[in-house]
């Protein structure tokens, strides 16, 4: 049973989160182990399993971005999550800009203490990237999700590819924003 099926939903990205929560609470009342504590062991086991599945499904579906990530995995036949062992690669469109950024970052890190100018530059860049990150998320949740939901079976691979690209861009931006935040915090700590 996949996460959409747990809630009796189609594989669509537009989800009414209020209704989802209501359903989650109702199913929790049905399956939570607290209400099966006096049942025979095998019934307790079934409740535990159902409850664990329900919670994992709710976790994946309640947040719109997590929902897209899950849908992509599901469509690609990867039900379990892959290990995030490698840092996301820079999408080609961002490559050059990111290269400069990483260089500045490496320089700042090598120096240890950031001077005022370097701090300002990094802070400005971080804010700019943060805005891009938010744009990318808005695009994912808005038009790209709607496109998936409206796609005919023939159009789906293309819609999925767009979602995947946008997710990759977002993951990369997220990492760089975090790295910059860390560099600024470290630099401040030593200054």
Footprint of another protein (CB under 8 A): 25, 28-29, 32-35, 37-38, 48-49, 51-53, 55-56, 58-59, 79-81, 83-85
Q: Which is nearer to another protein, 34 or 115 (CB)?
A: 34
Task: Give the shortest CB-27-to-another protein separation in angstroms.
Answer: 11
Q: Which is nearer to another protein, 78 or 128 (CB)?
A: 78
Q: Which is nearer to another protein, 65 or 151 (CB)?
A: 65
Task: Give the shortest CB-150-to-another protein separation in angstroms.
Answer: 28
Task: Give the shortest CB-49-to-another protein separation in angstroms.
Answer: 8
Task: Give the shortest CB-159-to-another protein separation in angstroms.
Answer: 27
Taking a C-beta distance cutoff of 8 angstroms, is the pair 162, 85 a contact? no
| Residue labelled with tokens 């019934």 | 43
- C-alpha to C-alpha distance for 103 and 122, rounded to whole angstroms: 11
Which sign, positive or negative, has the C-alpha torsion 13, 17, 23, 27? Answer: positive
Taking a C-beta distance cutoff of 8 angstroms, is the pair 72, 148 a contact? no
Q: Which is nearer to another protein, 81 or 128 (CB)?
A: 81
**Coil vs helix vs strand at 176:** helix
Q: Which is nearer to another protein, 51 or 169 (CB)?
A: 51
- C-alpha to C-alpha distance for 182 and 132, rounded to whole angstroms: 19
Question: In the chain, helix, strand, coil percent, each to 5?
Answer: 75, 0, 25
Q: Which is nearer to another protein, 56 or 161 (CB)?
A: 56
Task: Give the shortest CB-36-to-another protein separation in angstroms.
Answer: 10
Q: How far is CA 148 from CA 2, 75, 151, in A?
A: 18, 12, 5
Taking a C-beta distance cutoff of 8 angstroms, is the pair 64, 141 a contact? yes
Task: Give the shortest CB-48-to-another protein separation in angstroms.
Answer: 6
């Amino acid at each position: 049973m996949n996460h959409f099926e747990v809630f009796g939903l189609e594989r669509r990205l537009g989800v009414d989160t209020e209704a989802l929560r209501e359903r989650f609470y109702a199913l929790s009342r049905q399956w939570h182990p607290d209400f099966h504590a006096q049942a025979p062991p095998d019934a307790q086991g079934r409740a535990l399993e159902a409850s664990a599945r329900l919670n994992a499904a709710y976790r994946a579906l309640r947040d719109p971005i997590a929902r897209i990530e899950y849908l992509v995995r599901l469509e690609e036949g990867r039900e379990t999550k892959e290990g995030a062992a490698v840092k996301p690669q820079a999408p080609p469109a961002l490559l050059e800009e990111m290269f400069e950024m990483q260089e500045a970052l490496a320089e700042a890190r090598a120096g240890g203490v950031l001077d005022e100018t370097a701090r300002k530059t990094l802070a400005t860049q971080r804010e700019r990237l943060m805005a891009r990150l938010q744009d990318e998320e808005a695009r994912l949740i808005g038009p790209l999700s709607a496109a998936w939901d409206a796609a005919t079976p023939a159009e789906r691979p293309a819609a999925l590819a767009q979602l995947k690209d946008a997710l990759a861009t977002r993951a990369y931006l997220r990492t760089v924003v975090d790295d910059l935040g860390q560099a600024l915090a470290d630099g401040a700590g030593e200054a």
